[in-house]
Amino acid sequence: MGGSQEIETTAFLVGDEVIVVEAETYVGLSILGESATIRRIANEVAKRCRKGALTPTEDKR
């Protein structure tokens, strides 16, 4: 049998939407929220992957 699994859940406010991000040891990253917002996030991640630029950015508010 495998070892224990860790799950970390964090909620973020994106505009007026709550986005929930779950990181699971053996599953990976899950992002939950409105489909249009999730598509925008996925497109941004894909764009950064293509550029090789997956470093965190600062919130410029």
pTM: 0.68
- Enumerate the domain spans of the chain: 7-51
pLDDT for res 30: 94
**Residue 38, phi-psi category: left (phi > 0), alpha (psi -120 to 50), beta (remainder):** alpha
Q: What is the pLDDT of residues 1-52, one digit of tens each?
A: 567 789 999 999 998 999 999 999 888 889 999 999 999 999 988 998 888 8
* End-to-end Cα separation, the chain, in angstroms: 47
Task: State residue 39's pLDDT score.
Answer: 95
